[in-house]
A and B are shown apart, each in its own frame.
Chain A
Amino acid sequence: MKSERNLLLAPYLVLIPVVIAMYYALGEFVFKSRIPLFDVRSPLVFCLLVAVCLLVLVAWSLIVDIKTIGKGGNSQRESVVSGNDLTRVILFVIGMIAYLLLLPRLHFQISTMILVAVTAFLLNDADKPIFKGLKAVAFAVILIPAIYWIFYKVFAVILP
């Protein structure tokens, strides 16, 4: 049986820290910088409105999602990802971070060729490994200089 992951609660990994950070920053403004909060001229009036609304909406949707999962039947099948796909996404994101670190050192053409070749290799499920590798390298070697030339000559974009 294929392993599956339900990512229905994944957005809260971003939203909850954001809400906490907003209130922490507001607290710092009020208590450290002594900026009034409940004054129409205050630069924090809009921030407070957004913070309150965001807290209410995040709490509301979190409760609904927990109830949905609690009931066992997840009606939102889009949130279910197979273990394989999730691994592929995580690997790609790690690869992108490595790419960003390598970009200033190896420059655009070489680092992007590596990124494209590795991604194309990982995504190709149809061929045998040796053909996958050859196709991926050939694709990267043709594509990247072409892109570099088009963007440099046509769009006047100076790539690193």
Chain B
Amino acid sequence: MTFTLLLYTIVGAALGLFMGALPGITVTMTAVLVVSLTYGWPMMEALAFIVGAFCGGVTGGCISAIALNIPGTSAAVATAFDGYPLMRRGEADNALGTGLFSSLIGGLIGLAIMLLAGPALGKFALKFGSQEYFLLTMWGLTLVAVLSKGNNVKGLAAAFFGLFVGMIGMDPVMGMLRFTFGTSLLKGGINFVAAMIGLFGMKEVLKQLGKTESFNITGTVYRIKGLLPKLSLIKKVWHTFIWGGPLGTLIGLLPGTGGDVACIVAYGVAKQVTRKPSRPFGEGAYEGVAAPEVANNAAIGGALTTMMTLGVPGDSVTAVILGSFYLHGLLPGPTFMLAEKHYFYMIVWFVLIGSIMAYIFGLLGSNLILKAINLPKWALVPFIAVLCVVGSYAIQNNIYDVAIMLVFGVIGYLFEKGGFPTGPIVLAIILGPMIERNLRQALVITGGFFPFLSSLVTRPISLVLLILVVLSFWLQSKVMRTGTADNKTKAA
């Protein structure tokens, strides 16, 4: 670890924390912008910056969740359930202090499990064949259930639209040109980073054009001393660290699940297992702030482990990071732990530094972030629009990518207005070529469609994976429906 890498991680964590705290700018959007900017950088510096921003972004989500009842990121949805009531009771310092400290503990627990699970998972994944890989990528696609928030048909339609977009250009097996419609511009395919910036960034700009008011949080001021962890509060919530950390990491390890699911599940578990909460849940229980924050930060370690060892994203942010690995010529998957082991351990360092720095910046910079949230929309929206333009142009120094970004921004806006989630499109664009390659290899090896289907149930690892894929999709749909309903009830 050099001083330069340390600096990149620190700056990444600060930027991630700031962006993650701004409502409307998600961690995924932050990651997309950061990935596009770091395209021309040396690989290690780029990874340090991206991982730092990831850690900072997840931590930052709790700042606006507590101050505004609007989670900065979807991984902080459950934090608002008890964080905002605490703020209204005049205990904003304690609420944010607990949230930030729990985030740090969660990040460290996730990191410890990442160190243990990474090499073991990498070894195990060497036994996988095409069928298992196909199922693994399908498992990654079950994230659609989380991103669809209850409307699976529209979520799946969006995912298949993403698969179509991913097919434009050259066939990954034989090199045949597909769906280019005679245009030379489409021969190289759709640049997925430009599409992502459009779907996450420009879509948000178009959405915000209709909301001109800024947030009114003038009454909230944090005292740095008040944000430091207090022994009396830690005594109340320490048990959530013990089960919330491993639970969050485990959820992060499952392909297709990440911080979003982890925070909702942890909140549900906290309600079940906490016999005597500091206050009733939903009215300002500290356990209701600590459990989701421990779990969503612990999920970072899990999601990164799965991404590096199996080549399958744990959540939408790791899907973007997976894309950045490809951009930098790295191939995550079972051989990653054999050929590129040093990258794994460097990323462990980046997560450690990123988590610690996000905590420190959270303590020192929360008031500054609240001031930034208060910025008028007429200043914030054009600023984000310029970032989207620069981000998409920076990928290949090409105006064509800016046009792609704008087209996908409009598509994202129309899709969202029609109730179609945009997250599955990005997930499918990234996973599509992997799914296709493995499916076609498996079809050729088995010699037909029915032999392929039967091989999925006759091969022991395939069978287990198939069951896990179905279970995962069903359980995630259930969890998200409950979480969305809870959210609506709380908002009412």
Taking beta carbons and an 8 Å cutoff, which residues of A are in contact with B?
A: 7-15, 18, 21-22, 25, 40-41, 43, 45-47, 50-51, 53-54, 57-58, 60-61, 64-65, 76, 78-79, 81-82, 85, 88-89, 92-93, 96-97, 99-100, 103-104, 112, 115-116, 119-121, 123-126, 135-136, 139-140, 143-144, 147, 151, 155-160
A120 to B410, CA, bound (A): 20
| Contact pick for A25, options B179, B381, B390, B393, CB 8 Å | B179
A-B contact pairs, 30 of them (CB 8 A): A7-B417, A7-B418, A15-B157, A21-B179, A22-B164, A40-B449, A43-B176, A45-B439, A45-B440, A54-B160, A54-B163, A65-B419, A79-B417, A88-B210, A89-B210, A92-B206, A93-B406, A96-B385, A103-B399, A112-B389, A115-B385, A119-B385, A120-B378, A123-B378, A124-B378, A139-B382, A140-B382, A143-B383, A156-B40, A157-B390
From B166-174, B263-271, B478-486, the one touching the partner chain is B166-174
- Distance of A157 Cα from B448 Cα, bound (Å): 49
For the complex, give the distance between the alpha carbons of A78 and B379 in Å.
24
Bound-state Cα–Cα, A64 to B440, Å: 34
B181 within 8 A of A: yes
Complex: A157 Cα to B386 Cα, angstroms: 14
- Whole-angstrom distance between the Cβ of B32 and the nearest chain A Cβ: 15
Find chain A residues with CB under 8 A from B399 CB. Answer: 100, 103-104, 160
B376 at the interface (CB under 8 A from A): yes
Task: Determine the chain A residues whose CB is within 8 A of the CB of B376 once the complex forms.
Answer: 124, 126
Query: Which of A21, A51, A97 has a CB less than 8 Å from the CB of B406?
Result: A97
Q: How far is the CA of A143 from the CA of B415 in the complex (A)?
A: 31
CB <8 Å contact, B178 and A47: yes
Residues 316-356 of B contacting A (Cβ, < 8 Å): none
Known contacts being A11-B418, A53-B160, A57-B157, is A43 close to B171, with CB within 8 Å?
yes
Q: With A40-B443, A103-B399 as known contacts, state yes or no: A120 contacts B379, CB within 8 Å.
A: yes
Please judge, given known A-B contacts A46-B436, A54-B160, whether A159 and B390 are in contact too, CB under 8 Å: yes
Are B379 and A158 in touch, CB under 8 angstroms? no
Does A147 lie within 8 Å of B390, measured CB to CB? yes
B side interface size, CB within 8 A: 63
Which B residues touch A158, using CB under 8 A? 397
Chain A residue nearest in CB terms to B452 = A40
Q: Which residue of chain A lies nearest to B406 when distances are taken between CB atoms in the complex?
A: A96
Tell me the complex Cα distance, A70–B243, Å: 49
Q: A112 to B383, alpha carbons, bound, how many Å?
A: 10
What is the chain B residue whose CB lies nearest that of A40?
Answer: B443
Chain B, residues 394-438, CB within 8 Å of chain A (1/0): the string is 100101001100100011011111111000000000000001100
A12 is contacted by which of B160, B171, B383, B418 (Cβ under 8 Å)?
B418
Q: How far is the CA of A159 from the CA of B392 in the complex (A)?
A: 11
* B393 cross-chain contacts in A, Cβ below 8 A: 157, 159-160
How many angstroms from the CA of A47 to the CA of B415 in the assembled complex? 22
Residue B156 at the chain A interface, CB threshold 8 Å: yes
Which of B209, B411, B416 is within 8 Å of A92, CB to CB? B209
Report Cα–Cα, A149/B455, bound state, in Å. 57
Question: Is B37 located at the chain interface by the 8 A CB criterion?
Answer: yes
Cβ contacts under 8 Å, B219 to chain A? none
A144 engages B181 (CB within 8 Å):
no
Q: Shortest CB–CB separation between residue B442 and chain A, in angstroms?
A: 9
Q: Which of A11, A21, A120 contacts B414 (CB 8 A)?
A: A11
B residues within 8 A CB of A135? Answer: 378
Contacts of A96 in B (CB 8 A): 385, 406
Let me know if A89 and B447 touch, CB within 8 A: no
A123 touches B386 (CB 8 A): no
Residue positions of B touching A, CB distance < 8 A: 37-38, 40-41, 153-154, 156-157, 160-161, 163-164, 167, 171, 173-174, 176, 178-179, 181, 205-206, 209-210, 212, 376-379, 381-383, 385-386, 389-390, 393-394, 397, 399, 402-403, 406, 410-411, 413-420, 435-436, 439-440, 443-444, 447-449, 452
Q: Is A54's CB under 8 angstroms from B37's CB?
A: no
- List of B residues within 8 angstroms of A21 by Cβ: 179, 181
Q: How far is the CB of A134 from chain B (nearest CB, A)?
A: 13
A89/B406 in contact, CB under 8 A: no
Cβ-defined contact, B419 with A78, below 8 A: yes
Whether A45 contacts B443 in the complex (CB less than 8 A), given A53-B160, A119-B385, A159-B390, comes out as: yes
How many whole Å from B177's CB to the nearest CB in chain A? 10
For residue A156, which residues in chain B have a CB less than 8 angstroms away from its CB?
40-41
Are B382 and A116 in contact (CB-based, < 8 A)?
Answer: yes
Judge whether B153 and A40 touch: CB under 8 Å.
Answer: no
A12 and B418 alpha carbons, distance in the complex (Å): 9
- Do B448 and A40 touch (CB < 8 A)? yes
Smallest CB gap from A55: residue in B: B160
Give the chain B neighbours of A100 by CB distance below 8 A: 399, 402-403, 406
Set of chain A residues within 8 Å of B377, measured between Cβ atoms: 123
A157-B37 in contact (CB<8A): yes
A46-B167, A50-B167 as given contacts; A60 in contact with B153, CB under 8 Å: yes
| B386–A57 CB distance below 8 A | no
Which 8 A/B pairs are nearest by Cβ-Cβ distance? A85-B210, A11-B418, A7-B417, A123-B378, A57-B157, A124-B378, A54-B160, A40-B443
- Of all chain A residues, the one with the shortest Cβ separation from B151 is A61
Option from B41, B153, B417 in Cβ contact (under 8 Å) with A81: B417
A13-B414 in contact (CB<8A): yes
